[in-house]
Amino acid sequence: MPDPIFEKKNVLVTGGAGFIGSHLCERLLRDGHRVICVDNFSTGHERNIEALLSNPDFQFLRADVTQPLDLESFAELAAFKIPFQGVQEIYHLACPMSIAGFDQFRMQTLLANALGMYVPLEIARRYRARVVFTSSSVVYGPRRADDPFVEETQFGAVDQLSPRACYDEGKRFAETMCATYRQVHRLDVRIARVFRTYGPRLPLFDGQLIPDFVLNAMENKDLVIYGNGELRTSLVYVDDVVDGLVRLMAAPQAPDVVNFGHDAEVNISDVAREVIALVGSSSKIVAGADLLFLSELPAPRIGRAKDLGWLPLVRLEDGLRKTVEYVRENKLLLTMG
């Protein structure tokens, strides 16, 4: 029996008020879907979705995805007709992501990668929804000196007892949950391994290099490069990541796991110099102490993503310009927290 066709899909986005999640919600609404955004504002923010709240096809639920979530019990979802239509797609992004505040969110991160994965998978099982889980490049483990690039078939190795294991090993365990639900319950679950992403709405004062570069450059303050100043990384613009997630969800047949990131690395010092030039700043670049969660990670091979018709299209200079514009326009709000 074929699946019923509805005028608009009901799409659940967990972590929808976060950096990537809010851009994804906007894209899904433009594509003509009804969007249920779930977030508890641990590291997301209401301002990220403020412009969406008046849209009748958008509904925000302030909820913790580590707790049971019965969508049919929310009166505000009446227009979505959940008991009749259910949910067709689930994008699961909910997980605290704070570099500077990593210690503060360790327990929440641990639970988000365990119970917070279980809850959306159970919703998917109830409604036979397709799932895209946003995992991370950290599952590959440390960058290898002999080959900095990784592809989806490679196994990673992380220290499951390290201070950051609640995120690194947590993402690996969440992937295991996805695979097990796929095998046992025949759910259509797809895993997106997302590499370092930048763009508007990245939080300030959080160890996220690019927005902090921009703000400090605007104030002619030093731009701090952590580590030895030679950190190399893959940087992909947020709109490109969102396009990848949507393509992965839409593909009739898709690989279980797909890398989404830029396959051309950049040196963070070069990025800092580009920001200084864009802002027209007199800032200097200085070295700073290492941050636990800011490490040199592998870069992606993106053959599977290309097979989905995906490429990172936004040039670094264009993405940085858009990020600079966003910080300029929202500097007062952003610095007020």
List the structure tokens of 64: 């913790």
The share of the chain scoring above pLDDT 70, in percent, equals 92
Give the residue with greater pLDDT, 154 vs 57: 57
Is pLDDT above 50 for 217? yes
> Is position 279 within any domain?
no
Query: Which residues, 6 or more positions from 67, have their beta carbon under 8 angstroms from its beta carbon?
Result: 115, 119
Is pLDDT above 60 for 293? no
Q: Output the pLDDT for position 336.
A: 57
CATH at residue 110:
3.40.50.720
CA atoms within 13 A on the CB side of 64: 11
DSSP label of 50: G
Confidence of residue 73 (pLDDT cuts 50, 70, 90): very high
> Is position 36 within any domain?
yes
Q: Output the pLDDT for position 290.
A: 58
Contact 313, 247 (CB under 8 A): no
Q: Are strands 285-288 and 223-226 parallel, antiparallel or unpaired?
A: parallel
- pTM, to two decimals: 0.93
Contact 23, 242 (CB under 8 A): yes
* Nearest-angstrom CA–CA distance, 251 and 247: 6
Tokens 């360790």 map to which residue? 106
* Nearest-angstrom CA–CA distance, 278 and 218: 10
> In this structure, how many other beta carbons lie within 10 angstroms of the beta carbon of residue 66?
19
When divided into structural domains, the chain yields a total of: 1
Is pLDDT above 80 for 240? yes
Helices 268-279 and 209-218, axial angle in degrees (round to 10): 30
Q: Convert the pLDDT of each residue in 21-34 to its tens digit.
A: 999 999 999 999 99
> What is the number of residues in the chain?
337
Is pLDDT above 50 for 57? yes
> Is position 300 within any domain?
yes
Query: Torsions phi, psi of 150, nearest 5?
Result: -130, 150
Note down the domain range covering 125: 10-201+235-263+296-314
Which among 191, 214, 218, 242 has a CA at the least distance from the CA of 18? Answer: 242
Q: Output the pLDDT for position 13.
A: 98
Q: Output the pLDDT for position 166.
A: 87
> Is position 162 within any domain?
yes
> Is position 331 within any domain?
no
Query: Torsions phi, psi of 316, nearest 5?
Result: -55, -45
> Is position 257 within any domain?
yes
Is pLDDT above 50 for 1? no
Contact 278, 326 (CB under 8 A): no
Please indicate whether residue 127 is annotated as part of the active site: no
Question: Can you give the C-alpha Rg of the chain in angstroms?
Answer: 20
Q: What is the mean pLDDT of residues 312-324?
A: 95
Is pLDDT above 80 for 337? no
> Is position 126 within any domain?
yes
Helices 238-250 and 19-30, axial angle in degrees (round to 10): 60
Q: What is the mean pLDDT of residues 147-159?
A: 88
Is pLDDT above 90 for 103? no
Amino acid at 72: E
Catalytic residue among 91, 140, 167, 237: 167
Q: What is the mean pLDDT of residues 87-116?
A: 87
> Is position 108 within any domain?
yes
Q: Output the pLDDT for position 209.
A: 81
Mean pLDDT of the chain: 90
Q: Convert the pLDDT of each residue in 250-278 to its tens digit.
A: 999 989 999 999 999 898 899 999 999 99
Q: Convert the pLDDT of each residue in 129-144 to its tens digit.
A: 999 999 999 999 888 8
